[in-house]
Structure 1
Amino acid sequence: MAVKKTKTKTEIKIKETPLKEKVPSVQKLADKLLELMGTKAKAVATEDKKNEAIRVDIEADAETGLLIGRHGETLDALQVILGMMIYQESKEWARIIVNVGDWREKQEDQLKSLALQAAERARETGEPQTLFNLNAAQRRIVHLVLTEEKDIETESSGEGKERYLVIQHKK
């Protein structure tokens, strides 16, 4: 007698809280974080549908440089800490984008310009162009900008802090 084995698929759907419902919690935690830092800055949390994230805009007059930090490192740290605080409270990850003034927009514009210049150099010389010292978010921006350039391809290489981006002309 033969026994027939059948596999059954069990689908588990995890219901995630919509972003707009997380905004009040993010607002509260951002205010608490800024207070603990001893700053007079104020945070405004909103849903960012375009980036599928919660955006926290910090309004700081005299403390802008302090909150941005060198090359945005303090801003990135605030983003990570706030994301971890949200997870601790809700047990759900939420993409958080923290910005002071229009620093992130200016940085994104500079990265777009850099990416397009490197793509043009790759076209003209035929040699791969390499961009170093970019974090994951910056590399992502460059990749996205250059997907519109059909004759250019991008690739991230390396490991950890040594990761870099290569831009080359398609042959």
Structure 2
Amino acid sequence: MDVEGGRAAVSVVGGDLRHLVGRDGEVLEALQELTRLAVLAQTGERSRLMLDIAGHRAARRTELTERGRRAAEEVRTSGQRLVLEPMSPFERKIVHDAVAAAGLTSESEGEEPQRRVVVLPS
């Protein structure tokens, strides 16, 4: 367990944990939500705890940072807004941060689970 950006971060490591991650991290997301609900039940306070299993979330963060950087470069070159694929709130936050670090702005549009990042030209 660690603290990253003011939120508790729990990493589960071990043998073959792919079944706890699931396709596209779906099981991981469900386990994180159940963990947050357990914290709420015990403390009466909401938790922003981040759960990572087998390094899935860390690897995904690296992929999404690169995706945001490439999207910003594409928008800078084309001058056109770019609509990305649907993402979870965790994923969108990483892309928004990468786009901002590249000097452009972005926004989210749509409704869950089809909410997506739109990278805007400057």
TM range (shorter): over 0.9
Q: Secondary structure at the match of 2:113?
A: helix
Does residue 57 of structure 2 align to residue 104 of structure 1? Answer: yes
CA RMSD, 1 decimal:
1.3
Q: Secondary structure at the match of 1:160?
A: coil
The equivalent of 2:100 in structure 1 is 147
The equivalent of 1:55 in structure 2 is 9
Aligned residue identity for 1:60: G
| Paired residues, number | 122
Q: Over alpha carbons, which structure has the higher Rg?
A: 1
Does residue 12 of structure 2 align to residue 88 of structure 1? Answer: no
Which has the bigger relative contact order, CA under 8 A and spacing at least 6? 2
1:52: Cα distance to partner?
1.5
Cα shift readout 1:53-82 (whole Å, capped 9, x = no counterpart): 2222112313x1101100111111100000
| TM-score using structure 1 length | 0.67
Matched ranges for 1:105-124 at <5 A = 105-124=58-77
The equivalent of 2:115 in structure 1 is 163
1:51: Cα distance to partner?
2.2
Cα shift readout 1:95-129 (whole Å, capped 9, x = no counterpart): 11111122111100100111111111111111111
Which 5+ residue runs of structure 1 have no aligned equivalent?
Answer: 1-45
Cα distance in 1 for residues equivalent to 2:57 and 2:112: 23
Q: Note if contact 2:18-2:54 (Cα within 8 Å) is conserved in structure 1.
A: no
Q: Secondary structure at the match of 1:54?
A: strand
Matched ranges for 1:25-64 at <5 A = 46-48=1-3, 50-62=4-16, 64=17
The equivalent of 1:132 in structure 2 is 85
Which 5+ residue runs of structure 2 have no aligned equivalent?
Answer: none
| TM-score using structure 2 length | 0.92
Cα distance in 2 for residues equivalent to 1:55 and 1:119: 28
Q: Secondary structure at the match of 1:71?
A: helix
Q: Secondary structure at the match of 1:162?
A: coil
Q: Secondary structure at the match of 2:86?
A: coil
